[in-house]
Amino acid sequence: MAMLDKLARIIKDNSIEYIDLKFSDLIGDWHHITIPASSLAPDLFKVGVGVDGSSLPGFTRIERGDMLVIPDPETSFIDPFFETPTLSFICDIMAVEKELEPYSRNPRRVVHDADKYLKSMIPGTSAMLGPEFEFYLFDDVRFNQGPGEGYYFIDSEEAEWNAAGREGGRNLGYKVQYKGGYHAAPPKDRTFNLRSEITSLLMKVGIELKYHHHEVGGAGQHEIETKFESMPKMADQSMMVKYFVKNHAFRCGKSATFMPKPLFNEPGSGLHVHQYLADKNGSIFYDKKGPARLSKEGLYYVGGLLKHAPAVFAFTNPSTNSYKRLIPGFEAPVRGTYSVGNRTACIRIPGYQRNSKTHRLEFRPPDGTCNPYLAYSAMIMAGLDGIQNKIDPGEPFDKDITHLSEKELSQIPLLPTSLTKALDALMKDYKFLLKGGVFTEDLIASWEELKRKDVEQIRIRPHPWEFYLYYDK
């Protein structure tokens, strides 16, 4: 009742007229339904609002489509993108069976059950996550595929390719050179104010900022990194970060994309996830005398994450475009190694960290096309399997992979190079995900079906470069 009184006070003090209910489908896209603020009542948080689950990708058949979205009262925030004052909630999808219960394919259920499983296995611990959100901002985006054409056109006012200026317009110079955008300063960095506006909006709704900056990609690549949060909360916050970035950019006349590789031969955008398990004393991954200053638990966690990485990729890198980013030469991991400070490693132990209470690792493969609820859960389940089975990853690998001989490379596991290979790996290795009922057989089957369709959609369409290779053969 106290929570309901608090929400009623927020509605009154901010002249809220509407309540917006946001919920994630299996892929990780938000949907929403808007109801009047007068709908705030205890029943809203018990029985919610009815929706058609059969219209959501990967959810259910039409004959079993009736479902409920129930808002989580702890997730309320005033939505800055509605002109009419609106209070938003993040919701759970509930199945309408004999009794009301969390739907097995509800992504939020997965992350909360992963958190429960962690706490049952290692009482008193929480998984602490800190993602790096990388994205591009473009000024013009056009694409189409039809029987007689297939193209995309992307433009960025920062890009070096606009050094000569646009036709009919002025050109003031200050372009960001190819691969020259890392921490670029104004006036080359033209959107620092926009990033500050976005992060200010995020901080107003309780998402704390670590920093923001221009990234390596010269054609408008950026990064926002938030402070560490517990896994369930960070999964919600990850959805919010993407929502805020896209919507504020859109209303400022920019187009934001978290697509891993929107530009050929420019750096791709990742979602590197810093992570550690913590008890009341801080990170349980720290041991001053251990390899890379990792405790046994930290090492075994690394071992589990490396062992199951190919299967985990099906959730952390779930798009066909993901694997256009994971190529040599762009600080992207292509081999299953862990290392201190090496940004080509699959798992990097930051060499500059000095706080034992937050001693962490960084899983570098993920990208922004993932559903954070599923991706974060899959990573944690892999790491916990490593702890449970004492999987030793060996000593850190500190060599530069790009300069190894073929013989040396053959000794290091190759990570999936396509979505097909990641899905194949998942089908061979998913039992660790089922522990504690975190993932379910039906969710994994539905995920595979959805993602195989993605692969097929790309497979059947001619690619523009194929005309270069084969048109005159």
Residue range(s) defining the domain that contains residue 87: 2-102
406 assigned to active site: no
Regarding whether 162 and 86 lie in a shared domain, the answer is no
Low-confidence residues in the chain, pLDDT < 50 = 63
Number of structural domains (the chain) is: 2
Regarding whether 223 and 318 lie in a shared domain, the answer is yes
pLDDT, residue 1, reads: 61
Question: For position 61, which CATH number holds?
Answer: 3.10.20.70
CB atoms within 10 A of CB 199: 23
From 86, 102, 118, the end of a domain falls on: 102
**134, 225, 236, 297: which is the annotated catalytic residue?**
134
Regarding whether 130 and 94 lie in a shared domain, the answer is no
From 102, 136, 166, the end of a domain falls on: 102
214 assigned to active site: no
pLDDT, residue 168, reads: 62
**362, 367, 385, 454: which is the annotated catalytic residue?**
362
52 assigned to active site: yes
Instruction: State the virtual CA torsion across 333, 338, 341, 346 in degrees, nearest 10.
Output: 20
Regarding whether 159 and 81 lie in a shared domain, the answer is no
Alpha carbon distance 14, 187 (integer Å): 38
pLDDT, residue 400, reads: 67
223 assigned to active site: yes
Does 353 map to a domain?
A: yes
Question: For the segment 403-422, what is each residue's pLDDT rounded down to a tens digit?
Answer: 777 777 777 888 999 999 99
Rounded to the nearest angstrom, the gap between the alpha carbon of residue 208 and the centroid of all alpha carbons in its chain is: 17
**183, 343, 452, 461: which is the annotated catalytic residue?**
343
Regarding whether 418 and 332 lie in a shared domain, the answer is yes
pLDDT, residue 159, reads: 86
Regarding whether 96 and 204 lie in a shared domain, the answer is no
**115, 132, 225, 236: which is the annotated catalytic residue?**
132
From 102, 134, 160, the end of a domain falls on: 102
**29, 52, 279, 392: which is the annotated catalytic residue?**
52
Regarding whether 339 and 449 lie in a shared domain, the answer is yes
400 assigned to active site: no
Q: Is 363 exposed, middle or buried (0-12, 13-18, 19+ CB in 10 A)?
A: buried
Does 311 map to a domain?
A: yes
Helix (H), strand (E), coil (C) string for the chain: CHHHHHHHHHHHHCCCCEEEEEEECCCCCEEEEEEEHHHCCHHHHCCCEEEEHHHCCCCCCHHHCEEEEEECHHHCEECCCCCCCEEEEEEEEEEECCCEEECCCCHHHHHHHHHHHHHHHCCCCEEEEEEEEEEEEECEEEEEEECCEEEEEEECCCEHHHCCCCCCCCCCCCCECCCCCCCCCCCCCCCHHHHHHHHHHHHHCCCCEEEEEECCCCCCEEEEEECCEEHHHHHHHHHHHHHHHHHHHHHCCCEEECCCCCCCCCCCCCCCEEEEEEECCEECCECCCCHHHECHHHHHHHHHHHHCHHHHHHHHCCCCCHHHHCCCCCCCCCECCEEECCCCCCEEECCCCCCHHHCCEEECCCCCCCCHHHHHHHHHHHHHHHHHCCCCCCCCCCCCHHHCCHHHHCCCCECCCCHHHHHHHHHHCCHHHHHHHCCCHHHHHHHHHHHHHHHHHHHCCCCHHHHHHHCCC
Does 432 map to a domain?
A: yes
User: Under 8 Å CB-to-CB from 467, ≥6 apart: which residues?
Assistant: none
Does 421 map to a domain?
A: yes
Does 112 map to a domain?
A: no
Regarding whether 188 and 79 lie in a shared domain, the answer is no
Regarding whether 348 and 234 lie in a shared domain, the answer is yes
User: Under 8 Å CB-to-CB from 365, ≥6 apart: which residues?
Assistant: 270, 309, 313, 316, 317, 326, 332, 333, 346, 415
Does 266 map to a domain?
A: yes
pLDDT, residue 350, reads: 86
Tokens representing residue 302 in the block = 């690394």
Regarding whether 131 and 88 lie in a shared domain, the answer is no
pLDDT, residue 335, reads: 85
Does 371 map to a domain?
A: yes
Regarding whether 144 and 75 lie in a shared domain, the answer is no
Total-model pTM: 0.95
**190, 214, 222, 272: which is the annotated catalytic residue?**
272
C-alpha dihedral sign at 392, 398, 402, 408: negative
User: Is 25 in contact with 17 (CB distance < 8 Å)?
Assistant: no
Regarding whether 180 and 48 lie in a shared domain, the answer is no
CB atoms within 10 A of CB 27: 19
132 assigned to active site: yes
160 assigned to active site: no
**223, 225, 229, 297: which is the annotated catalytic residue?**
223
pLDDT, residue 175, reads: 84
